[in-house]
Structure 1
Amino acid sequence: MSDLPPLTTQTIWDIVNDVVDDAIANQLVWQALGYRYDPDRQVWDTEAVDPSWRDDYPEPPDFIAHRPPTVKLTRSIPQPDKQLLKEELGFKGYKLGEFGPRQTRRATIANWLLSYRKQQAEAG
């Protein structure tokens, strides 16, 4: 996961606009959640992962392919941050007929990452 793009506004837009591939979008969330891959042992190190995630997902989930982890991701966004995609990026949503579950999940990832980035800035 060392080749990940920085968590910039452009990267967030690239997730929304399907420029960043699914694997990278997932890995950005995994990294933020604390998942680390140990190549020597060929296992996921979850020591830094919150127990609520680690218990449900001992290996990092695919947020784009599967709905349940995305629902959990949505629920973990603090209420004041639920509209960051709109408020910070001016995202107006997808046009009718141009979106499906995959695009909705990408928007969820993008909003979650915005919230994560905001929390890190406030803590930092």
Structure 2
Amino acid sequence: MNELPSLSTETINDILNEKIDDETVNKMVWYYLGYRYDKSSQTWDNSEVETSWKEEYPEPPNFIENRPPTVKLTRSIPKENKQLLKEKLGFKGYKIGTFGPRDTRRATMANWLLNHLVTHSSQS
């Protein structure tokens, strides 16, 4: 998945501002969860995926279209990092009446990616 944008605060802002399409956002989360697509066998390799994810989702779920995997994604963010979008990027959320489930799911994915960026940047 070399076509993915780099994981940075700029990319996360682009997700929130809809400059990155849903498919790419899904692929980014899949990648950082550990899912890899094997083109030769046309199957998903989940050997790097955390056990609870690969048991429930042997193939990567569509976070935009399905609420349950997005809820699991939310729950996997440590409590102290739940507000990273607000704290690190100044994200104020959406105004009532101007957003739907898709927007909320994209924000959840953006927050999960930001959590991943923050927690793994110190390990690099």
The count of corresponding residues between Structure 1 and Structure 2 is 124
Q: Distance in 1 between matches of 2:41 and 2:64?
A: 27
TM-score with structure 2 setting the length: 0.97
Q: Distance in 2 between matches of 1:19 and 1:102?
A: 14
Instruction: Please state if 1:62 is matched with 2:59.
Output: no
Specify the SS of the correspondent of 1:37.
strand
Specify the SS of the correspondent of 2:44.
strand
Describe the superposition over 1:32-61 as per-residue Cα deviations: whole angstroms up to 9, x where unpaired.
Answer: 000000000000000000010000000000
TM-score with structure 1 setting the length: 0.97
CA RMSD of aligned residues (A): 0.7
The runs of at least 4 consecutive aligned structure 1 residues that moved more than 4 Å come to none
Specify the SS of the correspondent of 1:44.
strand
Gaps of 5+ in 1: none
Q: Distance in 2 between matches of 1:18 and 1:96?
A: 18
Specify the SS of the correspondent of 2:122.
helix
